[in-house]
Structure 1
Amino acid sequence: MKEYIRIPEIPLYNEMPKPKDKDCFIFGSKKAKIDHSDTFPLAIKRYTEGYDISIEQAAAVTGIAASSLYNYIADYREVTYSVMCAVCIGLRLHPDRQRHLFHLCHVERPDRDYCTDPRDLIIVDYLDECAFDRAFSLIACNDAIININRKPLSSLSSDKEGSE
């Protein structure tokens, strides 16, 4: 018998209570910001717990296997650019939280002013808007990338949506 994972609807930034403190919203605490004690695994766990979703549900919205997400969270695998982008867009992370995650993993976040690759320009648009507009989903991003004959960020696309 196949077990189905409830795919959560991640709230947009404007649908959530406004954070009382920007540092706590991004870093978890002021202390973590000051002593640089935050890590990618801690941040991802904090962000998924903030949405009240499991790693399996995070896997469903990012198109990344749950086993892979567990390995990233356990710090057994190095996070790649595509994984980082898929996580940020799939979890609809605020741009400040995105920048923090990219910094923690020593991965450069794409910037519209310096990108020339069409794939990266699509990714920048989705990173910038995913927290504010439902149309900027990971499925839509992957579809746009596939439409220019490039490799999508993850396995999630409209071709696979609902095809369980």
Structure 2
Amino acid sequence: MNKYIRKPYIPLYSEMPKPKDKDIFIFGSKETKKNDSDTAQLAMSRYIGNCGITPEQAAAILGIGRTTLYNYLADTRELTYSMLCVICIGLKLHPDRQRHLFHLCHIERPDREYSTDPRDLIIIEYLEECAFDNAYSLEACNKALKDGKQKMLHPYCLGTEDRK
């Protein structure tokens, strides 16, 4: 078995077919929205599948171990604010999908209007733009946080020479 997982390219929102229905784009189906039966784990699995990648490839993109991602997907490990930001930026999730995922995890998504923390302001910029511009990648976000002397989202999302 190959030890290395090739990191696939996740298309930007503008490069994907336009969704016909906003509810299906976010919730997966109208019934899920009506029954309020969506969970963070189902939503993450669905969003990973919509990117056309496997969980192993998603873990490689996010810079986390595949077991860690599987634990998040199985709900045996609780998602933190930083890890949720890593997932949203790394998978280039549309802001509507991000809001839904934050809501399901009961974590407040940072808002430019109310936030004064320099770290949150950098994260907000990357969350808002990651689905529309390749320059707003997970590595770039961590580099901007590091350059701003803020705590990085996840240290393994940088290249090895940038971690020091």
TM over 0.5: yes
Q: CA–CA distance in 1 between the matches of 2:21 and 2:82? A: 30
* Alpha-carbon distance, 1:148 to partner: 1.9
Aligned to 1:10: 10
Q: What is the TM-score of this pair, normalised by structure 2?
A: 0.94
Aligned to 1:97: 97
Q: In percent, how many aligned pairs have the same letter?
A: 62
CA RMSD, 1 decimal: 1.4
Q: Structure 2 vs 1, CA of residues 110 and 28 (structure 1 numbering), >3 Å: closer, same or farther?
A: same
* Alpha-carbon distance, 1:51 to partner: 1.5
The one-character-per-residue Cα deviations of 1:33-80 (angstroms, maximum 9, x if unpaired) are 111100111111111111121111111111222111111100001110
Residue 63, structure 1, aligned to residue 32, structure 2: no
Q: CA–CA distance in 1 between the matches of 2:161 and 2:33? A: 40
Residue 41, structure 1, aligned to residue 41, structure 2: yes
Q: Unpaired segments of 5 or more residues in structure 1? A: none
Q: Structure 2 vs 1, CA of residues 160 and 89 (structure 1 numbering), >3 Å: closer, same or farther?
A: farther
Partner letter of residue 16 of structure 1? Answer: M
Q: What is the TM-score of this pair, normalised by structure 1?
A: 0.94
* Alpha-carbon distance, 1:160 to partner: 5.3
Q: Unpaired segments of 5 or more residues in structure 2? A: none
* Alpha-carbon distance, 1:136 to partner: 0.3
For residues 97-136 of structure 1, what are the structure 2 equivalents within 5 Å?
Answer: 97-136=97-136
Mean CA deviation greater in 106-115 or 45-54:
45-54
* Alpha-carbon distance, 1:149 to partner: 2.1
Aligned length: 161
The one-character-per-residue Cα deviations of 1:112-150 (angstroms, maximum 9, x if unpaired) are 011111110000000000000000000000001111222
